[in-house]
Amino acid sequence: MIDQVALQQLLRGPHGPVVRLVNTQSRAVANAARRIAPAKSGRLRSTIGSNVTVEGTRVIGRIGSPLEYALYRHEGTGIYGPKGTPIVPVSAKFLRFPSSGTFGPLNHGQVKASGAGTIVYARSVRGVPRMPFLVYALEATVPYPIRINPM
């Protein structure tokens, strides 16, 4: 006869081998995501973490960042995002934001702005290309088949 309590403790107990394996894999994916994630200031990379929970009969490892812009960077915005349209102002004629010092390719005759801190005005912006660093980290780290569910 199988001891059901001992079996459940092995499968879903906080110190059981299944939970330890999921915790090890989750930490490995989080470490890989920190290496892959885009790093302008390093803030996004520093907030990537992992968490393991037991929900009913499932042991679930979650990897992510609490930053609001992490999802936008992961999935893309503007023409690169889910809507596929440029970002335009909602309640004004122009978007206004501080520049990062780079504007992409210049058209003939244009002059580059004078570095970071310059205020930029634009009627629309293309957005940010998607960088699915969590998916890439998962694919690079986990030896199991991966199925990505669309959002």
Q: With cut-offs at 50, 70 and 90, classify the pLDDT of residue 151.
A: low
SS (H, E, C) 75-122: HCCHHHCCCCCCECCCCCCCEEEECCCCCCCCCCCCCCCCCCCCEEEE
The pLDDT mean for the chain works out to: 84
Are residues 49 and 63 in contact, defined by beta-carbon separation less than 8 angstroms? yes
Q: At what angle do helices 133-141 and 17-36 cross, to 10 degrees?
A: 130
Would you place residue 103 in the very low, low, confident or very high pLDDT band (cuts 50, 70, 90)?
Answer: low
pTM of the model: 0.75
pLDDT classification of 114: cutoffs 50, 70, 90: low
Distance CA 145, CA 138 (A): 10
- Give dist(CA 90, CA 101) in Å, integer: 25
- Residue 104 in this model has a pLDDT that exceeds 60: no
